[in-house]
Amino acid sequence: MTHETPTSNHGRGAPEERLPGALTSPSFRDFEGKAAIITGAASGIGLALAHALAASGVDLALADIDARGLEAARAQLASTGRRIYTRVLDVARDADVRAAASEFEAQLGKVHLVFNNAGIEMSGALESLSEDDWTRVFGVNVFGVIHGIRHFVPLLLRRHGEPAHIVNTASGAGFWVNRDVSMGSYSATKSCVVALSEALEQELDGSRIGVSVLCPGPVATSIAERSSRSSERLRASIAAGMTPEKVAARVLGAIRDGEFYIFTHAQLQTSLQKRFARIFEALSRLPQ
């Protein structure tokens, strides 16, 4: 396993000094023989990550709320020759994630990679959502990641001193509230995942654990079909999205390169330029 000491300025300084699009430190390069936990692994991006990791020689612990999907994923991955463990859980429940962490550690031994990836879509005007809708979307998308940080990260941090890496799945929607689709609550949850990941990177600075936040644009998965609230516009955009396999390959490459922000769609630049121009304009009106 190489543990690179950067020789040039790739943006690896103290987190607050890093350049835009900055890299996290350290980078994780050697996947062969390592072990990973993936939540939301029964479908879409999580399942594609499982295939890409298994092909790179990684043993897997797969967690999902969908028992049948998880069993199908295990069957698909059986021929890879890697050890594959599965556990049905609800990432929104702290106790489920805590129990999964100890079971996975007992099965895998050392864990090197954690993907806090499970998530759900939520569409609808803010005032139209019920208390249950809010609890569910924050429970899965935000508390799912918080529980993963609380229970999976200690498996990397305290149990062994080997290089490790955590990827939290946010979304481009965590940076940009898209007027064309009514997904404000989803965007709010994904902004939280970006902030949690930035904070985690700061807290782990100086350790051998790298952090990344995955911020995809539309990816062709069944996320919108699972939601009764998705608009036709959202469904069409997701159906025409990037393949999950391409996203997974992008993620593994980004982990190797030590990228903190993992974007998949360059078009996000235009939207973010508009957003930040507005923010900087507001700041520029303040007395200097």
Ligand X SMILES: NC(=O)c1ccc[n+]([C@@H]2O[C@H](COP(=O)([O-])OP(=O)(O)OC[C@H]3O[C@@H](n4cnc5c(N)ncnc54)[C@H](O)[C@@H]3O)[C@@H](O)[C@H]2O)c1
As annotated, the active-site residues are 186
Interacting positions 191-230 with ligand X (CB under 6 A): 216, 218-219, 221-223, 226
Q: Least Å distance between CB 25 and ligand X?
A: 25
Q: Least Å distance between CB 191 and ligand X?
A: 12
Q: Which of 43, 185, 191, 197 binds ligand X (CB under 6 A)?
A: 43
Judged by CB, which is closer to ligand X: 35, or 89?
Answer: 89
CA distances from 190 to 2, 67, 168, 170, 197 (A): 32, 25, 10, 5, 11
Q: Least Å distance between CB 70 and ligand X?
A: 8
Task: Please choose, from the candidates 157, 193, 153, 158, the residue with its C-alpha nearest in 3D space to the C-alpha of residue 172.
Answer: 193
Interacting positions 230-249 with ligand X (CB under 6 A): 238, 241
3-state secondary structure 230-276: CCHHHHHHHHCCECHHHHHHHHHHHHHHCECEEECCCCHHHHHHHHH
Is residue 140 a contact residue for ligand X (CB under 6 A)?
yes
Is residue 148 a contact residue for ligand X (CB under 6 A)?
no
Q: Which of 4, 30, 71, 90 binds ligand X (CB under 6 A)?
A: 90
Does residue 130 contact residue 123 with C-beta atoms inside 8 Å?
no
Is residue 40 a contact residue for ligand X (CB under 6 A)?
yes
Q: E strands, the chain, where?
A: 35-39, 59-64, 84-88, 113-116, 164-169, 209-215, 261-263
Q: Which of 169, 197, 212, 230 binds ligand X (CB under 6 A)?
A: 169
